Amino acid sequence: MQFDTIAAISTPMGEGAIAIVRLSGDEAIQIADTIFHSPGGKSLAKVDSHTIHYGNLIDPNTKEIVEEVMASVMKAPKTFTREDVVEINCHGGIVAVNRVLGLLLREGARLAEPGEFTKRAFLNGRIDLSQAEAVMDLIRAKTDRAMDVALNQMEGKLSRLIGELRLALVETLAEVEVKIDYPEYDDVEEMTVPLMIEKSMWVREEIDKLLLTSSQGKILREGLSTVIIGRPNVGKSSLLNSLVQENKAIVTEIAGTTRDIIEEYVNIRGVPLRLVDTAGIRETEDIVERIGVERSRKVLKEADLILLVLNGSEELLVEDERLFEAVSGMDLIVVINKTDLPQKINMQRVLELTGVDKVVTTSLLIDEGVTELEEAIAELFFEGNLESNDLTYVSNARHIALLHQARATIDEALGAAELGVPIDMILIDVTRTWEILGEIIGDTVQESLLNELFSRFCLGK
């Protein structure tokens, strides 16, 4: 395909000492060459592909040196976009980088739209749509594990799986069509329906497996919403601080000085947590009343995980027990804090009332037990759900929605087959399933959807 040459700053604005301006398109090398001057007078048009060159950028109008740069030349098709690509590494700040970009635009490049580089990679057949989206996830990946998911997807694992499902469907369709087309078979239905049912059931099962992993995928990108609750002064803020290893939340001797709900994003052994310290709501108020506050109720309801903190140096209070009730049925880790002090808590009763089979004990004052807590969190999350080497799961909302659609459609086909609906009718649903699955990898996707998708990418990617 033929496109104009686009340019954009492809490193985050203001971050890092080096900024990269990327050019892609047929004229990428030529445009860069008009402003690039190597000390030896070498032209970028004559260099080998995938080489890096030192030189100055000179404004052709004023003959003024704009920047000292390293320019990488990468020729099609072995580039991300499958077009000629030049990357100009500048070490100046935002002003300098913008000047470089401005020069390139003046010399004939067009400012890239958000996601346009990735869009080209897709349009030029370098990657399929789910891989393109994985690039977007990669850009946004907040933790290593989320990064792994994105990478795996990019490598096409999901694409391959979807491809297999579609192949099974299309083969079935073909086989059924052939039988319908040969009238010498006297009972077409009897021969084709069982085959259709068998294949459709397999596809439905595989979709279900993928969907099972999808809630996990969602958590991996957004962070497991984790709420720290407990009576005033048991050590909630201290716990938040320990986990965050920064001192953003205020820890104090006087109950009730932490004012707002505090949220922190942490990565615990590959599990991203969005930690919420409810302590901020109003620690001076009665805890039951506090839990009654609409806001904390909502926070609790939306939580994926509860860290319930108790003070081991005090007996269990009725307020603690109310909390046990409030969180019953939720994923819960009970933390008994202040183990450095003489212990008064009735551990047996804690186990009985909360229904957990073990508790984590900590002394946040002397920094003990935090490692064990982190292990407990990771264990709870990965328990039987994730194999570290098998991360093919779906983490993209569009993919999840399409998988649900595909599942509903294949389900309809199966329902119709059972009701004895004529085979031609069933084929419509099977074909539709094949189409929907194709949308995940961008095979049957509409142009407008494409534009919408790619405009969500970061600029310069």
Q: Residues interacting with ligand GDP, by CB under 6 A?
A: 230, 232-238, 251-253, 255, 279, 283, 337-338, 340-341, 363-365
Pull the structure tokens for residue 414.
Answer: 């199966």
Residue type at position 279: A
Answer for the pair 45, 30: CB distance below 8 angstroms, yes or no. yes
Beta bridge partners of 223: none
Beta bridge partners of 21: 9, 88
Determine the interface stretch with Zn ion among 125-133, 175-183, 253-261, 385-393 (rule: CB under 5 A). 253-261
Q: Are strands 19-24 and 85-90 parallel, antiparallel or unpaired?
A: antiparallel
Pull the structure tokens for residue 87.
Answer: 């990357």
Q: Which does 33 bind (CB under 5 to 8 A by kind): Zn ion, ligand GDP, none?
A: none
Q: Which of 72, 172, 200, 258 binds Zn ion (CB under 5 A)?
A: 258
Residue 448 annotated as lining a ligand binding site: no
Q: Which does 312 bind (CB under 5 to 8 A by kind): Zn ion, ligand GDP, none?
A: none
Q: Which of 103, 149, 279, 300 binds Zn ion (CB under 5 A)?
A: 279
* Nearer to Zn ion among residue 237 and residue 433 (C-beta): 237
Q: Which does 235 bind (CB under 5 to 8 A by kind): Zn ion, ligand GDP, none?
A: ligand GDP
Least Å distance, CB 49 to Zn ion, is 59
Contacts for 236 with CB less than 8 Å, ≥ 6 apart: 228, 229, 230, 277, 278, 279, 309
Give the whole-angstrom CA distance, residue 444 versus residue 431.
12
Angle at 423 between CA 420 and CA 429, to 5 degrees: 100
Positions 166 through 205 that interact with Zn ion (CB under 5 A) = none
* Nearer to ligand GDP among residue 130 and residue 311 (C-beta): 311
* Nearer to Zn ion among residue 98 and residue 257 (C-beta): 257
Q: Which helix (H) or strand (E) holds 361?
A: strand 360-361
The alpha carbon of residue 231 and the mean position of all alpha carbons in its chain are separated, in whole angstroms, by 35
Query: How many CB atoms within 10 Å of residue 222?
Result: 15
Longest Cα separation, the chain: 89
* Nearer to Zn ion among residue 235 and residue 312 (C-beta): 235
Answer for the pair 109, 35: CB distance below 8 angstroms, yes or no. no
Q: Which does 55 bind (CB under 5 to 8 A by kind): ligand GDP, Zn ion, none?
A: none
237 binds Zn ion (CB under 5 A): yes
Residue 126 annotated as lining a ligand binding site: yes
Residue 339 annotated as lining a ligand binding site: no
Least Å distance, CB 236 to Zn ion, is 5
Closest by CA position to 54, among listed 38, 32, 40: 38
Q: Are strands 332-337 and 360-361 parallel, antiparallel or unpaired?
A: parallel
Give the whole-angstrom CA distance, residue 26 versus residue 80.
14
Pull the structure tokens for residue 326.
Answer: 């409030």
Residue 299 annotated as lining a ligand binding site: no
* Nearer to Zn ion among residue 159 and residue 337 (C-beta): 337
Least Å distance, CB 258 to Zn ion, is 4
* Nearer to ligand GDP among residue 152 and residue 238 (C-beta): 238
The alpha carbon of residue 303 and the mean position of all alpha carbons in its chain are separated, in whole angstroms, by 19
5 binds Zn ion (CB under 5 A): no
Residue 87 annotated as lining a ligand binding site: yes
Q: Which does 341 bind (CB under 5 to 8 A by kind): Zn ion, ligand GDP, none?
A: ligand GDP
Least Å distance, CB 250 to Zn ion, is 7
String of DSSP letters for 290-355: HHHSHHHHHHHHT-SEEEEEEETTS---HHHHHHHHHTTTS-EEEEEE-TTSPP---HHHHHHHH-
Give the whole-angstrom CA distance, residue 53 versus residue 38.
7
Least Å distance, CB 239 to ligand GDP, is 7
143 binds Zn ion (CB under 5 A): no
* Nearer to ligand GDP among residue 7 and residue 234 (C-beta): 234
Residue 409 annotated as lining a ligand binding site: no
Task: Summarize the annotated binding site for GTP as residue ranges.
Answer: 233-238, 252-258, 277-280
Task: Summarize the annotated binding site as residue ranges.
Answer: 22, 87, 126, 233-238, 252-258, 277-280, 461
Task: Summarize the annotated binding site for (6S)-5-formyl-5,6,7,8-tetrahydrofolate as residue ranges.
Answer: 22, 87, 126, 461
Binding site for Zn ion (CB under 5 A): 236-237, 258, 279
Task: Summarize the annotated binding site for K(+) as residue ranges.
Answer: 233, 252, 254, 257
